[in-house]
Amino acid sequence: MSQKTVLITGATAGIGLAGAQELGRRGWKVLVHARNEARGKGALETLRAAVPRGDFDVVTGDLSSLKSVAELARQVAAKAPVLDALWNNAGGIQSERKASADGVELQMAVNHLAAFALTSRLLPQLKAAPAGRVVATSSGAHPLAPGNIQDWFLDRPGKYRPMQVYGQTKLANILFTQELNRRLAGTSVTAHSFHPGFVRTSFGSGGDPSKKSVFEMMGFLALPPEKGADTGVFLVDDPEPAKTPGRYWVKRKPKNPSGKATLEAGARLWAQSEALVEKAWQKAEV
């Protein structure tokens, strides 16, 4: 039986690192995405110490830049002409308003748009697999998103509300995987999203260091990263989820997401994301 390959974004710490460790232990070749080579080197050392016989390799890219996302996809395609799974795990929360290299609000850029762009570039490699999987780390915070969003990339004036924006990005993760699954009907690729639970990681430490996020303040209540990664590992590795694709999962069971996760919202998000990515890539000539 040939070895399967998975790419995990945001795999240098937390859920991504824990998922990489477990999938490496199960015999997968794991492409470990890191923001830069230094972070990737540290993750490799940790993984190889934990799983000496594991097959790990690093790919790098700044997910706040669509040009860098395109370069990341080229690295992955060169290392894995056949990609069995793409786990879009990278994400973060900012305490203050910031913009990406492409002028997009930073949470939407990293948590959603990078995953949309990377997945689109790697679809040929995923379709080359016998049963390709796309998995997204979403969140139970997705109902915090504003209702009836018409422009998903509009930077709303006034006070910046980090958790509302974060909820919007996590709703976007669910909508993207649902819409992707509909568009992939009839192919060998399925898409899934999940809530990892409240996990003890460095997540939420971005932004102003003097302002602690709710994630940091409530850290003593959090799950260890391996518990948070469990459903993601299940969605990547187990054959069962392919029977009910496009679902949102919690503790290895499919659940109904918020009523905000509508077909219309997903179609609107897809069209706006596609237009923004294509324009940025044309400008960057990638």
Query: Catalytic residues, which ones?
Result: 166
* Both structure tokens of 47: 């993984």
Q: Which of 53, 52, 50, 68 is nearest to 9 (CA)?
A: 68
Helix axes 14-25, 37-50, angle to 10 degrees: 40
Distance CA 30, CA 175 (A): 26
Q: CA-CA distances (angstroms) from residue 215 to 156, 197, 225? A: 24, 12, 14
Distance CA 269, CA 216 (A): 30
Give the β-pairing of 248-250 and 253-255.
antiparallel
* Both structure tokens of 286: 């990638």
Distance CA 174, CA 139 (A): 9
Distance CA 66, CA 286 (A): 9
DSSP-H helix ranges across 184-240: 214-217, 225-237
Whole-number CA gyration radius for the chain? 17
